[in-house]
Chains A and B, each alone.
Chain A
Amino acid sequence: MRPLTQYPTKPFESWGRAKELRRMRNRDLWSAEERGDVIIQGLLLEGLISLFSGFGNFGDPSYGPHYNQLLENHEALIKCMEVAETRGFARDLCSSMRCHLGQLYMDITTASPRGGTAHPHFVFQSYDCPSMAKTGQLYAEHLDIPFITVDVPFRDTAHTRAYFVQRLLEVIEWTEKHTGKKCDDEALAQGVNNEWECFVLWARLCEQQKAIPAPMDMRHLQSLRVPWANLRHKKEGVEFYRMVLDEVKERVAQGISARGYETARFLHEGIPPFFYIQILKMPAEYGAVFLGGNTFDGGAWVKHEDGTWESGQTLEEQGRELRTREQALDALADLYLNYRPHMCYTAHRPQAHLKRVGDYSVDGVVVHLDHGCNGIQTGMMEVKRLLQESGVPTTTYEGSQCDPRDFSEAQVRDRLESFFEGLGLSKVAGETTGEGEGE
């Protein structure tokens, strides 16, 4: 592995702004009804958020404060799972979706922290992953509100593009019909521009991880991704990521590290267990870092034949101006069909992940095999196989992103410790995780 060199580190300055944004988002969300804005129930963070930018300051309660509280309260989280299971949903279904269903059936999702209940106008779900689409359908049925979904083709051809863009147009018209509000096309174009730019900025942020030492680790990336999830269609989201990218470039220039040491550089592939997110800091006990993994999926990437992912260009850099609704939706289609890694179409992933190992000077890979996920999880065993066959030290651990019953802390720690120690790493004395924490 790498020598035990001490690098400087410091807290993220952007972190304060991220917290402000989180508060702003929550405030806006729970006052949407008072303001007369649209409330959309969905899991919007996964896809097509800017599609609704023409409808003002809309709110989506899916990942509200309840969700974060649940992740910290295992008992409550398990209760969610059990409620979904009592309704007949199998224990091996996607744990994230069972968590959402449990919240739904317990009336948690729409319960405002200010008291009362939010009343979503409809459910929108982009069909990136089948589990999400089916969950969206169940939400609509339970809340007795209309449902609309858009499937995201995995190939960009004349007919898939026409289908996708036409469907996006339909969603706008449908939303107008169901909310009685007119879509402001200028705002839509601005939202699409913003979403595009956030995707590009995120990819560039990830590329900074090529630096040695890496300026962030995956825990930082995970936290910094929160505004990406729900504000990337807004100017505040763009401003935030411009600021973060500047800061991270500055860290690289000054040789500021994520956590003080970098005895090894690892990737964590697969969605981490959110209720045990500290796993992302585990390499730090050995002076090592997780550079990233599935967090890279939030970027706009040009995917080269050899597996290289290179950050794309913003619409402005491409010289593309959005003047009409059609142009805006075509640009959005371009982002989702060509630049954003498709969640479920993963045939290219083994090669891309192998290339990433070289491009980011990676010493080993940890793959999370999630018991319920059949979206992003697709192809994970092939990723593992190709990496191992190519001589990249790779291990797996079984777990779940949302169901603590499917995760054994002791076993997983034991497995990862053996992996790290097998690579010649040993625990680093003293506190290596405090500085540069940022979360």
Chain B
Amino acid sequence: MPSALDRFHQVVVGRHQYAEEWKARTGGKVMGYLCTYVPEELAYAAGVLPVRIMGSHQPQSITENYIFSMWCPYCRDCLAQGLLGRYDYLEGIVFAQTCQHIRQTFDSWVTHLPMEFSYDLYMPSSLHVPLARECLAGELQSFQEALEGWTGHPIAPSDIEGAVDIYNTNRRLMTQVYELRRGLTPPITGVQAMEMVLSSMFMDKQEQNGLLRQALEELKGQPGRNSGVRLMLLGSENDDTDLVGFVESMGAQIVVDDHCTGTRYFWGEVPPGDDLLTAIAQRYVDRPPCPLKDLAERRRVQHVLTLARDYQVQGAVMVLEKFCDPHEFDLPSIQGALKEADIPMLVLEVDATIPAGQFRTRIEAFLEMIEVGV
């Protein structure tokens, strides 16, 4: 039997195959989504498999007519995958309002790749005000009705309860794996951790929960390794395991992150509550915010500092997707806060479709600086 971590890797590289096999096996529908603010558990409750749409990190020019070349390469890469037919198995697509770049991906997708089902979910931005939760709960109600119309059957409260339970378990188990990285000899690398979270975005969560339990068993008691400078990753969407592996190959270990392919995806559970949709809304309001949802107290800064302390971070690498306005706006605040906490930060401006080798010298210099305590 392959180890759980191997299986996560297989799902990440074979994500399309996984979805197609799931479909063949269950006869269910697959729904792509474009942002981690999409309340997946509702789709799951409807018997639909939600999969996050992502790029391939290969150069492409197919989106030239649809998205301006000075928009983030990730959002263009995502659309390219659709236009290239790699997501032909999807029957639906959902977006939750966040960043304009990925909105453009959604708008172009529904224009050029019409599907049975598309839904544009209004996700409020002023999440610091209590009214946002009520608004989102109302939006979830509309989303639920739309899903019911699409799938042709009602979603019972017990379906939602079941889905929430599975999603909460998934979040809890991934948090437990992350906690293993707090120690000085983490038994799991940054690449493996990223693959775990990514695979969760592509898999049936119930199946992944089984693998997560297996992973915890397998990792328990493993000696782990102290393989260098303890780093945290921050910034834009980042599913570039090659980049993470490259950084780790140079004498660093990634121990935690604030990415939407990491903690921002699974941190925080749906709290108990009489009204299920309100409880789900609460979770999305409370989760570590993306910069565009962090408009009052700078919760992100607090979240990053807490993680840095809890995971004994020595340095941070900000992976900034080129033209990523949301994270560019937050960069000075995060950089300032980390500086005050004596945590040096390296900013890597990446293009999803360009290999990471170009950063070798800068990463080396950064790690050396931390090692000698400059």
Contacts and interface: CB of A to CB of B under 8 A. Distances in A.
B97 to A, nearest CB: 7
Interface string A190-206: 00000000000000000
Chain A: interface secondary structure? Answer: mixed
Which of B126, B139, B292 has the most chain A CB atoms inside 10 A of its CB?
B126
A385 B328 contact: no
Interface string A125-157: 001011101110110010000010111011101
Nearest to A137: B295
6 contacts: A93-B329, A127-B295, A134-B292, A159-B141, A369-B68, A382-B107
B100 A127 contact: no
Contacts of A380: 68
B296 to A, nearest CB: 7
Nearest to B141: A159
Given A89-B331, A157-B139, 20 more contacts: A88-B331, A89-B328, A89-B332, A92-B323, A92-B325, A130-B292, A135-B329, A137-B296, A138-B329, A154-B120, A154-B122, A159-B135, A159-B142, A163-B132, A163-B134, A166-B131, A170-B131, A347-B107, A369-B70, A382-B107
A224 interface: no
B129 interface: yes
Interface of A: 87-90, 92-94, 127, 129-131, 133-135, 137-138, 141, 147, 149-151, 153-155, 157-160, 162-163, 166-167, 170, 344-347, 350, 369, 371, 374-375, 377-382, 385
B100 A90 contact: no
A129 B325 CA distance: 12
Contact of B139 (A159, A350, A385): A159
A157 B131 contact: no
B292 A374 contact: no
A94 B135 contact: no
B328 A90 contact: yes
B66 A381 contact: yes
Chain B: interface secondary structure? Answer: helix
Contacts of B97: 154
Contacts, number: 128
Contact of A163 (B99, B124, B296): B124
Ranked nearest first, the 6 interchain pairs of A and B with the lowest CB-CB distance are A159-B138, A163-B135, A88-B332, A134-B329, A151-B125, A90-B328
Interface in B113-172: 120, 122, 124-126, 129, 131-132, 134-135, 137-139, 141-142
Given A151-B124, A380-B68, A92 B328 contact: yes
A163 B291 contact: no
A149 B328 CA distance: 20
B125 A127 contact: yes
A127 B126 contact: yes
A86 to B, nearest CB: 10
B142 A149 contact: no
A88 B335 contact: yes
Contact of B103 (A93, A157, A344, A381): A344
Contacts of B332: 87-89
Interface in B79-114: 97, 99-101, 103-104, 107-108, 110-111
